[in-house]
A and B are shown apart, each in its own frame.
Chain A
Amino acid sequence: MNNQGRPTSPTALNAVAPHTVSGSKALDQAVKLIFEVGDLETTGIDLPEPKGGKSRLGANARQGTIGLPGLSEPETMRHYVRLSQKNYAIDLGVYPLGSCTMKHNPRLNEKVARMPGFADVHPLQPISTVQGALELMSELSHWLMTLCNMPAVALTPKAGAHGELCGMMAIRARLDADGQTQRRRVLVPESAHGTNPATAVQCGFTVDEIPASGDGRVNLDALKEKIASDPDTVAGIMLTNPNTCGLFERDIIEIADLIHAAGGYFYCDGANFNALVGRVRPGDLGVDAMHINLHKTFSTPHGGGGPGSGPTVLSDALKDYAPVPYVVETKEGYDLVEAVDSDSFGRMCAFHGQMGMYTRALTYMMSHGSDGLRQATEDAVLNANYVQASLSDVMTPAFGGVCMHEALFDDRFLKDTGVETLDFAKAMIDEGYHPMTMYFPLVVHGAMLIEPTESESKQELDRFIGSMRHLAEKAKAGETEMFKQAPVYAPMRRLDETQAARKPVLRWSEPEDGKLAAE
């Protein structure tokens, strides 16, 4: 349309947000559930008419409808595009969720993952027809083992917590093989991520918590006491490094020695491996098992909550207990060991793990190379320290000194303001940022854990720092109401989580006066 001659010229109005009949607000479109807009007749896929031969389904052929609404293709496209626009995303802005590592997701990785030799191969095709896929797994293993200086890696775990399970199962299998069945006590620092104690229990261990010291690290004396109290029951330790406070555990080698001397094994939670890649190798720290979150450190997309991938590197002591299947190289090419042999602790999932994540992670690693990976680590650590240093006069860093890849603040700077960590986080949304991780780790009051990652430019960080300083000053100036109301610019205001949990509504159901596909 030609709109020449009708230029807009903004006039100053006392802008009052008008009520809209549609419920939409310009680009922010109102969306109903598919169950409210679709019906049982509409489909967005053209399929040929079945010929209608004799059924071999037997007595259990389905009677009656399922209740699945359909939409045409343009309606489907619009529905999900509208929904997508209600999400914050890394591609939109700073997403400083501590411990989650929201870094850039290169699109080359997506392209490679969709190559037919990776995406369109069946897990049970003859081995001779999947040589390229197995070679990729073997290459990925080589990169991971080299970066970790560890002799083996189990690729199959499907997420970080699944990797924890893998490592702890391997430890248990080794203990059992050695007749050490009384070793069932796992030491877990109180700052640990919740998956650590949950995993230990899922593997049949009991959890013994180690308190933190004043500087945010494992209290070495307390650890020694815990071990000494009953050394024969120690199965191992689960320790995150850098820990959940974003700090490197200075005594880590001594901790590993203590655990080994007591007859236990060292499980390292590798959630924060992105602070170490190319600069520190877990194998040099005495680690026996560590999972690597490919979706954090090696940038496979988080996808709104998975799929993840948690390959687990294993030491010489544990490698024989690795789960099946695993890739081996033979004279004829690559092969898969799928049957449980004598020492393997078993199988963790139906097939060979997360191939789609392997392709993305290896693509990411090869793109960076040894030099780029090390630089990425350094930039991630530098960015976090830059944020910490730039905010330390208006906010309160939880601990002194330099941090690794994430900066941890507590809520002392909000004392007596009436503003809480939650309010502060919600106000960040109005400033155009995704909030940092809040109230974790538990060892710090009102924790705010900021992980900028290496993907942020200095310019973007300066803008972020400017917003954070502004908010901290507003809070101190007593503008509590602004924080309590926040967010006001997001697609939704604060949601009532208490009501959601009290009377859970977990699926759509027909309203009493209406019916799906009534027309």
Chain B
Amino acid sequence: MRYLPLTDSDRAQMLDVVGVSSIDDLFQDVPKSARLSDLVDLPKHQSEQAVERHMGKLSAKSVSAGSVPFFCGAGAYRHHIPATVDHLIQRSEFLTAYTPYQPEVSQGTLMTLFEFQSQVAALTGMDVANASMYDGSTACAEAVVMAKRVTRKTKAVLAPGLHPHYAAATQTLASTLNIQINERDCRPGRDDHMIDHIDDDTACVVVQSPNVFGEIIDLRPIAEKAHAHKALLIAVFTEPVALAAITPPGEQGADIVVGEGQGIGVGLNFGGPHVGLFACTQKLVRQMPGRVCGETVDANGERGFVLTLSTREQHIRREKATSNICTNSGLCALAFTIHMTLLGEAGITRLAALNHEAACDLADRLSAIDGVELVNDTFFNEFTLKLSKPAAEVVDALAEKNILGGVPLTRIQPDGDAHLLLVCATETNHTDDFAAFETALKEVLS
């Protein structure tokens, strides 16, 4: 087997050194009834070529986003990722290293984490950020749990425009921790009304902007009301590129900002791995979950970086830890950092402008079709359409025509308005894609 260096004569010599006669002797502590004498019922080993062929066939059974006009968003976004990013994250020293527990031989990972934290803090307009979470939805759930810890209150108010999967992941974690969550009416144009739910028992208000419908929400009045009741404002985003175009949540009074970083540096990957971003104010830093990298000096006085504030974490605090999180999304954070470095201020600003322009163009074209109504007053690169036919049927009909034409709201919110379609355009869309979408949608709706 190509991955196993030991030869049979090595094995025999080594068993000798150990002082046992066969490999079975090393499994002597396993109860007899649980010892497998035969191979499990699975195929035997295969060559690289054979496995690659099998996987290639499976891959070909899906329609990849790059092969058709593609307009899906709703929490995962298709952007162009420079070849440099994928090359660098595949370097052995990044790819095959562990969590940087030994800083003297992990400065590569640690320094990029420090850059990552600095970029995330800048983008969100917050004081500090951690070294990443699993994804945006789990970061959101952890933020709500953190708000309970900080405020010692147990009511969380989730905005109607919060991505339904984020709300569900939060609900799951909250359910066992006695955090009460409000009923949500997942419709566009409702986020302003949530102010009415905030009272003295509220630990946090969770608002997404741009929200799942693409609407850009003014967080300031919500922050004001939340702070008046000693509650925290948790601002959420699912598209990091949007933050280059809109006022950052940190400038609107957010106490915690969480979101999905996938849009920078990380592919769609059918939903994972992605990379959760988590930022907060300096005041709350010791209540933040997850790994954090900090600056220090070495024995020679040279600047270096280490994992720090570990007294919050499970391996030190065990049952008193701020979270059970251990592994985060290191390699995706690295991809984010490299892509962001390539973009820089000039690049990310332009990328955001191109995305917005594409979405404006598409929204104009589609909303001119009979039976299509643009719901949004504001949006960045995704918007919601109200269709004359159920959106799920329309999307299936578009798929028949080889167009991936967005996400029906009911896919993520089964009891939502069946006529709403969430549509996204990015810099990866060509004008031809828009024309194809326009023509196909006309046909499907006629």
A to B contact number (C-beta, < 8 Å): 719
For A495, list chain B residues within 8 Å (CB): 103-104, 296-299, 304-306
Cα of A290 to Cα of B91 in the assembled complex, Å: 32
Cα of A119 to Cα of B59 in the assembled complex, Å: 9
Residue of A50, A197, A323, A352 most packed against chain B (CB within 10 A): A50
- Asked if B25 is at the interface of the complex by the 8 Å CB criterion, the answer is yes
Cα of A125 to Cα of B366 in the assembled complex, Å: 20
Cα of A126 to Cα of B328 in the assembled complex, Å: 29
For B99, list chain A residues within 8 Å (CB): 302, 304-306
Q: From B399, which residue of chain A is reached at the shortest CB distance?
A: A126
Residue of A118, A172, A249, A284 most packed against chain B (CB within 10 A): A118
Interface residue from A159, A362, A491 paired with B105 (Cβ < 8 Å): A491
Q: From A302, which residue of chain B is reached at the shortest CB distance?
A: B98
Inter-subunit contact B341/A79 (CB<8 Å): yes
Inter-subunit contact B10/A47 (CB<8 Å): no
For A504, list chain B residues within 8 Å (CB): 128, 285, 292, 294, 308-309
Inter-subunit contact B52/A108 (CB<8 Å): yes
For A347, list chain B residues within 8 Å (CB): 165, 168-169, 171-172
A–B complex contacts, Cβ < 8 Å, 6 sampled = A106-B3, A116-B64, A131-B62, A136-B55, A347-B168, A349-B138
- Asked if A295 is at the interface of the complex by the 8 Å CB criterion, the answer is yes
Inter-subunit contact A247/B29 (CB<8 Å): yes
For B329, list chain A residues within 8 Å (CB): 305-307
Inter-subunit contact A455/B411 (CB<8 Å): no
User: Distance (Å) between the CB of B184 and the closest chain A CB?
Assistant: 14
Cα of A105 to Cα of B104 in the assembled complex, Å: 23
Inter-subunit contact A507/B331 (CB<8 Å): no
Inter-subunit contact A70/B341 (CB<8 Å): yes
Interface residue from B26, B35, B338 paired with A382 (Cβ < 8 Å): B26
- Asked if A379 is at the interface of the complex by the 8 Å CB criterion, the answer is yes
Chain B window 326-364, contacts with chain A (Cβ cutoff 8 Å), 1 for yes, 0 for no: 111111101000101111111111110110110111010
- Asked if A348 is at the interface of the complex by the 8 Å CB criterion, the answer is yes
- Asked if B192 is at the interface of the complex by the 8 Å CB criterion, the answer is no
Among the listed stretches B71-79, B200-208, B438-446, which one makes contact with chain A, having 4 or more residues with CB under 8 Å of it? B71-79
For A491, list chain B residues within 8 Å (CB): 104-105, 107
- Asked if B123 is at the interface of the complex by the 8 Å CB criterion, the answer is yes
- Asked if B437 is at the interface of the complex by the 8 Å CB criterion, the answer is no
- Asked if B273 is at the interface of the complex by the 8 Å CB criterion, the answer is yes
Given contacts A61-B246, A121-B62, contact A130 B270 (CB under 8 A): yes
Q: From B172, which residue of chain A is reached at the shortest CB distance?
A: A346
For A62, list chain B residues within 8 Å (CB): 244-248
Cα of A160 to Cα of B327 in the assembled complex, Å: 8
Within 8 A of B (CB), among A97-138: 97, 100, 102, 104-106, 108, 110-112, 114-126, 128-133, 135-136
Inter-subunit contact A73/B43 (CB<8 Å): no
Inter-subunit contact A367/B48 (CB<8 Å): yes
Cα of A83 to Cα of B435 in the assembled complex, Å: 45
User: Distance (Å) between the CB of B122 and the closest chain A CB?
Assistant: 4
Cα of A372 to Cα of B27 in the assembled complex, Å: 18
Interface residue from A92, A121, A303 paired with B268 (Cβ < 8 Å): A121
- Asked if B182 is at the interface of the complex by the 8 Å CB criterion, the answer is no
For B57, list chain A residues within 8 Å (CB): 132
Among the listed stretches B151-159, B226-234, B315-323, which one makes contact with chain A, having 4 or more residues with CB under 8 Å of it? B315-323
User: Distance (Å) between the CB of B424 and the closest chain A CB?
Assistant: 10
User: Distance (Å) between the CB of B179 and the closest chain A CB?
Assistant: 10
Chain B window 243-271, contacts with chain A (Cβ cutoff 8 Å), 1 for yes, 0 for no: 11111100010000000100000011111
User: Distance (Å) between the CB of B389 and the closest chain A CB?
Assistant: 15
- Asked if B417 is at the interface of the complex by the 8 Å CB criterion, the answer is no
Among the listed stretches A36-44, A225-233, A408-416, which one makes contact with chain B, having 4 or more residues with CB under 8 Å of it? A36-44
Q: List 3 tightest A-B contacts by C-beta distance, closest first.
A: A70-B344, A351-B271, A303-B331
For B283, list chain A residues within 8 Å (CB): none
User: Distance (Å) between the CB of B51 and the closest chain A CB?
Assistant: 5
- Asked if A445 is at the interface of the complex by the 8 Å CB criterion, the answer is no
Cα of A58 to Cα of B192 in the assembled complex, Å: 15
Interface residue from B3, B134, B354 paired with A162 (Cβ < 8 Å): B134
Within 8 A of A (CB), among B8-39: 10-11, 13-15, 17-20, 23, 25-31, 33-36, 39
Inter-subunit contact B216/A60 (CB<8 Å): yes
- Asked if A6 is at the interface of the complex by the 8 Å CB criterion, the answer is no
Inter-subunit contact B270/A253 (CB<8 Å): no
Inter-subunit contact B327/A161 (CB<8 Å): yes
Within 8 A of B (CB), among A402-433: 402, 404, 425-426, 429
- Asked if A71 is at the interface of the complex by the 8 Å CB criterion, the answer is yes
- Asked if A467 is at the interface of the complex by the 8 Å CB criterion, the answer is no
Q: From A192, which residue of chain B is reached at the shortest CB distance?
A: B318
Cα of A304 to Cα of B105 in the assembled complex, Å: 12
For A371, list chain B residues within 8 Å (CB): 1, 39, 44-45
**Given pairs A345-B172, A390-B17, 19 additional interface contacts (CB within 8 A):** A45-B351, A56-B359, A66-B248, A81-B88, A88-B106, A112-B51, A119-B268, A121-B63, A128-B399, A201-B319, A301-B96, A304-B100, A352-B270, A354-B272, A370-B40, A402-B25, A402-B29, A460-B5, A508-B115
Inter-subunit contact A77/B84 (CB<8 Å): yes
Inter-subunit contact B331/A280 (CB<8 Å): no
Cα of A250 to Cα of B131 in the assembled complex, Å: 39
Inter-subunit contact B134/A351 (CB<8 Å): no
- Asked if B395 is at the interface of the complex by the 8 Å CB criterion, the answer is yes
- Asked if A194 is at the interface of the complex by the 8 Å CB criterion, the answer is yes
Inter-subunit contact B314/A195 (CB<8 Å): yes
Residue of A81, A108, A112, A125 most packed against chain B (CB within 10 A): A125
Given contacts A31-B111, A121-B64, A366-B43, contact A493 B299 (CB under 8 A): yes
- Asked if A22 is at the interface of the complex by the 8 Å CB criterion, the answer is no
Chain B window 167-206, contacts with chain A (Cβ cutoff 8 Å), 1 for yes, 0 for no: 0110111011110000000000000000000000000000
User: Distance (Å) between the CB of A364 and the closest chain B CB?
Assistant: 8
Given contacts A43-B347, A402-B25, contact A56 B378 (CB under 8 A): yes
Inter-subunit contact A160/B326 (CB<8 Å): yes
Interface residue from A71, A203, A434 paired with B176 (Cβ < 8 Å): A203
Inter-subunit contact B291/A305 (CB<8 Å): yes
Inter-subunit contact B95/A105 (CB<8 Å): yes
For A124, list chain B residues within 8 Å (CB): 72, 74-76, 407, 411-412
Inter-subunit contact B27/A43 (CB<8 Å): no
Q: From B325, which residue of chain A is reached at the shortest CB distance?
A: A161
Inter-subunit contact B294/A506 (CB<8 Å): yes
Inter-subunit contact B96/A302 (CB<8 Å): yes
Within 8 A of B (CB), among A445-461: 454-458, 460
Cα of A284 to Cα of B6 in the assembled complex, Å: 29
Q: From B404, which residue of chain A is reached at the shortest CB distance?
A: A125
- Asked if A199 is at the interface of the complex by the 8 Å CB criterion, the answer is yes
Inter-subunit contact B354/A48 (CB<8 Å): yes
- Asked if B368 is at the interface of the complex by the 8 Å CB criterion, the answer is no
User: Distance (Å) between the CB of B74 and the closest chain A CB?
Assistant: 6
